[in-house]
Amino acid sequence: MKQYLDVTDIENLPKLIDEAIALKKNPFAFETLGKHKTIGLLFFNSSLRTRLSTQKAAMQLGMHCMVMNFTSEAWTIEFEDGTVMDGGTSEHIKEAAAVVSQYCDIIAVRAFPTLTDKEKDQSEFVLNNFKKYASVPIINMESATAHPLQALADAITIMELKQTQKPKVVLSWAPHPKALPHAVANSFTKMMQKMDVDFVITHPEGYELDPEVTKKTPIMHNQKEAFKDADFIYVKNWSNFKDYGKVLNQDKSWTITNEQMSVTNNGKFMHCLPVRRNMIVADEVLDSEQSIVIQQANNRTFSAQVVLKNILEELEK
Amino acid sequence: MKQYLDVTDIENLPKLIDEAIALKKNPFAFETLGKHKTIGLLFFNSSLRTRLSTQKAAMQLGMHCMVMNFTSEAWTIEFEDGTVMDGGTSEHIKEAAAVVSQYCDIIAVRAFPTLTDKEKDQSEFVLNNFKKYASVPIINMESATAHPLQALADAITIMELKQTQKPKVVLSWAPHPKALPHAVANSFTKMMQKMDVDFVITHPEGYELDPEVTKKTPIMHNQKEAFKDADFIYVKNWSNFKDYGKVLNQDKSWTITNEQMSVTNNGKFMHCLPVRRNMIVADEVLDSEQSIVIQQANNRTFSAQVVLKNILEELEK
Amino acid sequence: MKQYLDVTDIENLPKLIDEAIALKKNPFAFETLGKHKTIGLLFFNSSLRTRLSTQKAAMQLGMHCMVMNFTSEAWTIEFEDGTVMDGGTSEHIKEAAAVVSQYCDIIAVRAFPTLTDKEKDQSEFVLNNFKKYASVPIINMESATAHPLQALADAITIMELKQTQKPKVVLSWAPHPKALPHAVANSFTKMMQKMDVDFVITHPEGYELDPEVTKKTPIMHNQKEAFKDADFIYVKNWSNFKDYGKVLNQDKSWTITNEQMSVTNNGKFMHCLPVRRNMIVADEVLDSEQSIVIQQANNRTFSAQVVLKNILEELEK
């Protein structure tokens, strides 16, 4: 693995998941692989799980980890080419990415979308500029349109807990008071398309995700019908994609309650977290045994660790 | 030791102090004890001594340390049960504590009181919610009502420097322009009650601490009389407890000067720091040989280290 | 080496540069030297290169590194003696420096100038107060008037890349929209005065640096003339020194373009970064092969590492 910008960078998913599950059993099996290697974690946005799990993963591989809150601790970055930098930005991404590459063997970046400038967000201008100007492998810790470390943790979780050969997995939209990105929904969709699962998306009409992501995945506007006999219910809010970044719907009949779960096949409840209780999901579901969100969060460590392990092995070649 | 939320978690104080003093002589004696173990330091408030000394202590035990400024780097936390989270908070403490427990073997938390909502503060809603929902041991790095790592460092310092079997120790209030918590005063009081010392509290009338903390400890409103023949003068401001969180008194006759110290038994001056010069204490005292505040701050490392050591040993059982 | 506050702390520059170049070839040659030693990196201002390269350097020497954003994470510091601290500052530098010395074997500090109070800045009140009250060696990670780690990286870079015995080096002012410090220009000037180079400074009239720094170094107001046959062009903006901290000139004819570079001896373009593109330097120069800013940034690691190595060796004596 040469980078991990998107789930499309995965060459062999079943093998990767097996490796991750092996690492979970023996987290320090490769603790000399990362010796004398440094990873830089660059944050343009808040993070809890991603930050801690990636640090933990790096540590378990013997790597040295440097964390930087880019916006508050470093300089404001210019991403446009050819600009006369006489305004608010102090450093161009060309220099920033090239310089950090001098100090780090791998760079991991988190940068959320604007949710106001669709074209800019879809171009992944932060992540792709890091990719373009860095001289070391880049890992996506959630970008404008993708969260592949989360999707890999989700895949690991489903493989660990599935009871049937080909489980039914439903991705459901749920209401939220603020405009949220499409990254998690996109990457989860792409990941499910790579797996041997019966995958369905359900959301209110008009809340379609990027059609280049959903492709031929069935989309249903009747949540209850979609949930029927489902083994895994993956819930996430996203803002409108067509009327970009808008919150057009907060319909709480889409909030996941015991009633919704009752038609599933004793389905497991999944969410990437952080989750707003009693907006996205009722306490009764999140606090029940059907909820596997904590195991899912735990798998973030092994998702990050297996990606780091594969990139380190590639670096050694 | 299974946790360290309060000084009441100490099972055998003399033994713990002896261990701490032994660690001070040989800080790396247990540097393999924490191998492959991770501590998460979660800060809801500013910290200098606590942050650095706990990191140092963890490092000396071979632990891996992850520091997070929870309010600025992670998500705003909801502490109330049953809330519809449609406002400013993004993640419930139930998930946050359970998730961090996936990545850390020990969690240390700093969260100051509101000083406006007495009931909420007295309930220790942040610390106790972490305790309730985490699955790993919790260490208190100063909570709404307690600062037991500071109190343990204070106990170590007094044991190191006392000249008599049963020294006289005075806790004195001193003026300060802003409302300060009761945590340090509470924990110091509880610690002195556990030790073989002659302990007295002095403060202006109406500035009584929580009576459930002070219990039968003698309280004097005449500072000079209280200081007579004292071996250790421990100074701290706290805001009013009855008229909760108010600054009703800034009487600078309570500021510690040479005059106050003159009636002591060549008493040592102690303060947890940070200290406001010429408000809490005059330069002439803080810069004198009687001041032991720097040694006291140094003992923060061994206070944290002995607590970590005991918790790690418990984890190994 | 007992400290590194200024380039004047360098005892033997050629030897130090040789050691740095050797470390660059074998970064882990001294990885046991820093074992059980801790460095505290204290930031009063933003940093990218300095923070990451110093962390990297410390790690390569086996040191433990603790990073603190002093203004946001710790307490606001009082630097004046004798003050009644009844205002915005919570901790005096006397305690802060003495306390951090308890937890760290070496303290590195970054604190920019006010650019409004010349006398205060020239007195280096932050750095010198740390020096005065700390009990461990201090490293300057850019202070009000000096940036000696940068200057050492610059010296290493020039020694690596020079084509002639005594290259011509030009320090040129260039325009910038905001008021910038003199630290980089000062330290580069002092460093060049110690080296076997033909050194010239060029800037618009009235933009003289501190004459106690420039001493007898030739100063030219005609940039093109100064650039003639130069081997290294070191560019930096600084605000006015006489009319202290003012931006009196933004003359873009001083921006470095191919035209300016054309009269040099195929000169190398240097800048400490961050650099504002098309203000300080045109894209055509910064993106050309003449630009060595990334190699220069890379040498920051070895500049920091050789300084740390020498201080650690001194500590072992």
Would you state the pLDDT for residue B71? Answer: 84
Query: For residue B182, what is the DSSP state?
Result: S
Does the A150-294 domain belong in CATH 3.40.50.1370?
yes
To the question of whether residue B14 is assigned a binding role by annotation, the answer is: no
Give Cα A253 distance to the centre of its chain: 26
Amino acid at A186: N
Q: How far apart are CA B145 and CA B112, in angstroms?
A: 8
Q: Do domains C7-146+300-316 and C148-296 have the same CATH topology?
A: yes
CA dist C243 and A174 (Å) reads: 60
For chain C, the residue count is 317
Neighbours of chain C (3+ CB pairs under 8 A): A, B
Q: What is the pLDDT of residue B72?
A: 87
Strand ranges inside chain B, DSSP E: 38-43, 64-69, 77-78, 91-92, 106-110, 138-140, 168-173, 198-202, 219-220, 232-236, 268-270
Closest CA to A155 of A199, A122, A111, A112: A199
The CA-atom distances, in angstroms, between C197 and each of A281, B97, B204, C146 are 70, 60, 70, 21
- Chain B neighbors of A51, CB-CB under 8 A: 68, 73-74
As a whole number of Å, the CA-based R_g of chain C is 20
**DSSP single-letter state for residue B83:** -
- Give the residue among C88, C109, C120 at the shortest CA–CA distance from C6: C109
CATH 3.40.50.1370 assigned to domain C148-296? The reply is: yes
How close B177 gets to chain C, by Cα (Å)? 6
pLDDT in tens, B34-70: 999 999 999 999 999 999 999 999 999 999 999 999 8
- pLDDT category of residue C158 using cuts at 50, 70 and 90: very high
Partner-chain contact B273 C95, CB within 8 Å: yes
Question: Out of B46, B59, B287, whose CB is closest to C64?
Answer: B59
Give the pair of three-digit tokens for residue A254: 């889409």
CB-side exposure of B144: number of CA atoms within 13 Å? 21
In single-letter form, the type of residue at position C10 comes to I
Alpha-carbon dihedral C80, C83, C88, C91, rounded to 10 degrees:
70
Q: Domains of chain C: which residue ranges? A: 7-146+300-316, 148-296
First-residue to last-residue Cα distance in chain C: 11
CB–CB contact B48 C74 (8 Å): yes
Q: Tens of pLDDT along C231-277?
A: 999 999 999 999 999 999 999 999 999 999 999 999 999 999 999 99
Six-digit token pair at B112? Answer: 């100051």
Q: C79 and chain B: CB distance < 8 Å anywhere? A: no
- Residue from A73, A76, A77, A130 to probe the interface with C (highest C Cβ count within 10 Å): A73
| Helical ranges in chain B per DSSP H | 13-25, 49-60, 70-73, 93-103, 118-122, 125-133, 148-161, 183-194, 211-214, 223-227, 258-262, 283-286, 293-316
Spatial CA neighbour of B234 closest among B264, B213, B210, B212: B264
Confidence of residue C72 (pLDDT cuts 50, 70, 90): confident
Q: Which CATH class is domain B7-146+300-316?
A: alpha beta
Look up the CATH number of domain A7-146+297-316: 3.40.50.1370
> Nearest CA of chain B to the CA of C137: how many Å?
17
Nearest CB among A28, A56, A287 relative to B103 is that of A56
Residue C155 has pLDDT above 90, yes or no: yes
Select the residue of B177, B273, B283 nearest C99 (Cβ to Cβ).
B273
Q: What are phi and psi of C275, to 5 degrees?
A: -125, 140
- Mean pLDDT value across residues C112-134: 97
* C98/chain B closest Cα distance in angstroms: 7
Instruction: Quote the Cα angle for C130-C48-C142, to 5°.
Output: 30
Q: Which residues are paired to A169 by β-bridges?
A: A199, A232
Q: CATH for B149-296, among 3.40.50.1370, 3.90.700.10, 3.40.50.170, 2.60.40.10?
A: 3.40.50.1370
Is the N-terminal amide bond of A274 cis, ω within 30° of 0? yes
Which residues, given as ranges, of chain A have pLDDT below 70? none
The whole-number pLDDT of residue A257 equals 98
Tokens 């803002």, residue located? A239
Mean pLDDT, residues C70-83 taken together = 91
Query: Who's near C158: CB < 8 A, 6+ residues apart?
Result: C167, C169, C195, C197, C232
How far is residue A119's CA from residue B172's CA, in Å, rounded to a whole number?
A: 63
- Please give the average per-residue pLDDT across C220-228, as a whole number: 98
pLDDT tens series, chain B, 317 aa = 999 999 999 999 999 999 999 999 999 999 999 999 999 999 999 999 999 999 999 999 999 999 999 888 989 999 999 999 999 899 999 999 999 999 999 999 999 999 999 999 999 999 999 999 999 999 999 999 999 999 999 999 999 999 999 999 999 999 999 999 999 999 999 999 999 999 999 999 999 999 999 999 999 999 999 999 999 999 999 999 999 999 999 999 999 999 999 999 999 999 999 999 999 999 999 999 999 999 999 999 999 999 999 999 999 99
